[in-house]
Chains A and B, each alone.
Chain A
Amino acid sequence: MATSKARMSSFSRTFTAASSSSTPGLKFGPNGTIFISSGIPDLDSGGFPLGSLVMVMEDAEAPHHMLLLRNFMSQGLVHKQPLLYASPSKDPKGFLGTLPSPACLYKLQEEGLRIAWQYKKYFGENHLNSDSNRDGKQEYCNDFDLRKPLERHFLSGQHIDCISIQDTPDLSTLRDRCATFLTQFPRNDGNISSAGRIAIQSFCAPQCEYSNMEWDMISFLRSLRSMIRASNAVAFVTFPPSLLSPSFSRRWQHMADTLLSVRAIPDDDKELAKLLTGYHDMIGLLNVHKIARINTQVAVILDATTFSIQLQKRRFLVLECLNQAPIDATSGNSYGTSASCSGSSKSGTLDF
């Protein structure tokens, strides 16, 4: 899922996923899989297959899961895909105001060569005018500018539903809302009209009343997964595994079709600066643990499982594949010694 475009193994059967012209947000893959974009170009090679459950393991010390969540939600709204958003805050609608807007093409011209001002008029109007992006061909995956909030017209519409899960005593209301939402996207063998997105933020957040009902939460996830399988939608759930007991944390990880985790990195760490190039621009790490393989039995071997999260010019989310993996990156466990972010004391060995 996260292969770098330059390196394609000669042994892997590469497929050219064709974008559908009628529904720009969908891409058709092999074996009848249909993909929707995650909103992060570096993470998308294909995207998330419809019918899958994506889970992101949060780090209690960093808010990076919010970046992934925001991009996922914005991408859906830009493609006019209906969205159901559940959050443990009292006012989830307020979060919609922080969703990023797609960056206009102008951004590409700022990088690289600076062209003398008078030449710009020869490039034609479409490059300068971001409005044409909307009228013309829509991209499958946009670059989002985190400093620019999403325009009003994307947010107004009947297709956004917000739920607060803080005060709900149990999960039956949430389950019912999800079921109702997913009836809009039944998976028939016929034509697909549109895809839906469900985003659940910090599912086991401690301020939610159901957060100590561990069996109820896992049973909710199981029913969500079975509902999602039968519909043309993707569910994106983030959760902090440190707040769950270890056995349940494992169970949740097994529930996921696609499993990602984000980790914080220590600040002003000279050793890490020596080990990783580009440390100063990094704000965190992203690990890909599992990729959804629906409709196929072919295992996927990723080129890279660890990415560094960077914010270019504090606006654009960029993931860079780390060639020299930091300690314990491949095992996916808590990172490093007690001096590091997650506080566990395990150090790995470099394989030569």
Chain B
Amino acid sequence: MAESISRALRDGVLEGEHAPALTIKDSIASPFGFDVFTHILTQLSSNILAGKSQSRGLVLVAFSRSPSFYVELLKRRGIDVPSSQKWIQILDCYTDPLGWKEKLVEPGNNVRISNEASIGVCLCKTVKDMDKLLSSIIELGKGLVGQGRVRFCVAIDSVNEIIRHASIASVAGLVSNLRTNDQVSSIFWLSHSDLHEDRVTAVLEYMSSMVASIEPLNATGQRYDRENLSLTEHNCWKGKLLVRLKRRNGRVRVMSEEFHVEQSVIKFTSLSSRDEILNRSLLPEVQFSLQLSEKEQIDRAKVILPFEHQGHDKHIQIYDGRRSLMDSKNETGPVSTGLSQTNESCGKGEIVYFRDSDDERPDSDEDPDDDLDI
């Protein structure tokens, strides 16, 4: 759930442990990863500004959007931007990641590549070098919070962009070094899982302590089916957030939530019961079927039980040793007489029983069918 992830990032890290790391993972079936990322970013920023979080600053590594976009976004969501220099630094890997623009500029021309120096933006031109990237992030962070015990958190806009430029081993090394750094409080990043191989997704999940997957509401996802067009429209602005939290004691907490996006603002609600696939039973499938289907229940109701009084004139003839069927229907209570009676059966054989004497007590074993409504 988005709340618990934000709380985990806000609370940060304990001494001697690795910083919590969140992977936000989406795919083309439900492409709302960026909305979730900005939501988490906004929550963390407001926590930092309010002083509620362990970290005192945020370093945002921007690959897929320009820094001005983020500034505008934060402004729109009510985050105090003019004083942003004190708490946020943006490492601009969007404008000129490989330093090509710089090379195109002829010497002598004063071209301002970035005019956002006022808002704490630092240009990065060497995204291929992970060591340099790591040191830039740490430097920016130290610039925000100073030396010492104060921590900052790191947000990486899109891991896919880094993986285009560097190997997964070096990206894993970058993440691992950030997590073990003394001054990093928490770290989170966005990844589009269908842009690279499964192994890359597996590595990112291995390196993180929380994984938030964005999935379509219904399992079929995007199918360009005429009949299902309404289904795809339904999926357009809604989705499901599945979170797997690795807890300190080694257990995994699995949670899920529904969300919908309205005018680029995302709202989370708890999962409606019809969509709770997660609560499918973990009990093993037993070889005996203990449940009845509806048809089976109806059939069961139709079965005529042999001793049951059907409630209409047609009655089932049952031989009863002490009294005839007709008598038992007319009597009000269970009466057991010692008289022998011939049974008026429906034409089948009859048994005539003579008791030795009338004084004899009735059969010692009570009629077990006394209470049957025959």
Contacts and interface: CB of A to CB of B under 8 A. Distances in A.
Contact of A212 (B168, B176, B207, B251): B168
B202 interface: yes
Interface stretch (B70-78, B279-287, B297-305): B279-287
B180 A89 contact: yes
B354 interface: no
Contacts of B199: 243, 245
Interface string B261-294: 0000000000000000111111111110000000
Interface string B58-89: 00000000000000000000000000000000
A44 interface: no
Contacts of B284: 327, 347-350
Interface residues of B, number: 36
A349 B244 CA distance: 26
A240 interface: yes
Interface stretch (A55-63, A150-158, A193-201, A219-227): A55-63
Contacts of A264: 246, 250-252
A341 B168 CA distance: 24
Interface in A114-171: 166
B206 interface: yes
Interface string A76-120: 000000000000111000000000000000000000000000000
Contact of A211 (B169, B250, B278, B282): B169
A207 B282 contact: no
B285 A349 contact: yes
B252 A341 contact: yes
A337 B250 contact: no
Contacts of A267: 247, 251-254
B251 A265 contact: yes
A238 B237 CA distance: 43
A206 B206 contact: yes
B203 interface: yes
B282 A275 contact: yes
A216 interface: no
Contact of A209 (B169, B177, B244, B253): B169
Interface string A281-297: 00110000000000000
Given A61-B246, A266-B254, A272 B282 contact: yes
15 contacts: A60-B205, A62-B250, A62-B252, A88-B176, A89-B180, A207-B176, A208-B169, A212-B167, A212-B169, A267-B247, A269-B282, A339-B277, A339-B278, A341-B252, A350-B285
Interface of B: 167-170, 172-173, 175-177, 180, 199, 202-203, 205-207, 244, 246-247, 249-254, 277-287
Interface of A: 60-64, 88-90, 166, 205-209, 211-212, 240, 242-243, 245, 264-269, 271-272, 274-275, 283-284, 309, 311, 327, 336-341, 343, 347-350, 352
